Amino acid sequence: MATTSGNQNADDLILSSDPHHPANQICTLCAHFYTLGWVTGTGGGTSIKRDGRIYIAPSGVQKELMKPTDIFVVAEPPRPLDEAQEPGRRGDHRSMPYLRRPQSLSPSACTPLFLAAFTRRGAGCCIHTHSQWTVLVTLLLESSASPDVFEIQRIEQIKGIPASYDRAAGNLGYFDTLKVPVIENTAREEDLTESLEQAMEAHPNTYAVLVRRHGIYVWGEDVARAKTICESLDYIFRLAVEMRKLGIPWMAS
């Protein structure tokens, strides 16, 4: 497959017989996420950062059929994008310095959002889903007194979510309240970057940001952590929707 990069051997970046190589792992994850309803109709995406390189699923491909040769690769930026890039080019995924860029595919508009998780949160994996439960929860919040944060308590599964970025703090406890910030959707996915970063600042311990009428971004130190946090959150959002149908409040009174 034709690619553009300074490196003639850009395919070396993504071809490996190791199933845990990021390029293979993104394909396996996306095929699995398809079965969970997270990346229907080419929606959603996944990115892994490892050894100074960032591997990203392309835009507009059938996620369950993706191949390693479809993967884009970028060098890890030295610092957050708003410092590293010129004004007006901030977070522009079309002008990234790609180490590998498949010519027939478009880079993902999620790219600057994935980079925010990697540079500002030290994440090793970031998952973006269009799960219907995330969309429905943000729709239910829209007309509530507190539209910008999802809150639930006393559900065992919240113990699957880290309490903070301090690993010593462990995960949330059963009597803690899970809070997930919600940002408003924008016309272009890349324009979410600024409000995503603001939500990260305002909620320094969160591992996820919901996007109203759109989906969610979830990250973690590595693939296993990002995936299990994303699964636990999705379980909770689905449960929350069912609770609403049955008239059960999210916050125990």
By CB under 8 A, residue 173 contacts a second copy: yes
* Catalytic sites, residue numbers: 156
By CB under 8 A, residue 28 contacts a second copy: no
Q: Which helix (H) or strand (E) holds 74?
A: strand 72-75
Identity of the residue, 149 or 155, whose beta carbon is nearer to a second copy in the bound complex = 155
Question: Which of 82, 92, 221, 231 is the binder for a second copy (CB under 8 A)?
Answer: 231
- CA 37 – CA 26 distance, rounded (Å): 16
Q: Tokens standing for 128?
A: 């973006």
- For every residue of 123-182, DSSP letters joined together read -SEEEEE--HHHHHHHHHHHTSS-TTEEEEES-GGGGGSBSSS-GGG-BPPTTSEEEEEE
Binding string, 35-74, against a second copy, x = CB under 8 A? --x--xxxx------------------x------------
By CB under 8 A, residue 248 contacts a second copy: yes
Contacts of a second copy in 82-101 (CB under 8 A): none
Contact 131, 51 (CB under 8 A): no
By CB under 8 A, residue 169 contacts a second copy: no
Q: Rounded to the nearest 5 degrees, what angle is found at the Cα of 34, between the Cα atoms of 18 and 105?
A: 70
By CB under 8 A, residue 80 contacts a second copy: no
Contacts of a second copy in 124-143 (CB under 8 A): 130, 132, 135-136, 139-140, 142
Contact 241, 140 (CB under 8 A): yes
Question: Which of 185, 194, 205, 221 is the binder for a second copy (CB under 8 A)?
Answer: 185
At residue 109, the 3 state secondary structure works out as: coil
At residue 3, the 3 state secondary structure works out as: strand
Q: Rounded to the nearest 5 degrees, what angle is found at the Cα of 164, between the Cα atoms of 162 and 169?
A: 80
Q: Point out which span in 15-23, 50-58, 86-94, 245-253 binds a second copy (CB under 8 A).
A: 245-253
By CB under 8 A, residue 31 contacts a second copy: no
By CB under 8 A, residue 224 contacts a second copy: yes
Binding residues for a second copy, rule: CB under 8 A, are: 37, 40-43, 62, 130, 132, 135-136, 139-140, 142, 154-157, 160, 173-175, 185-187, 211, 213-215, 224, 227-229, 231-232, 234-235, 238-239, 241-246, 248
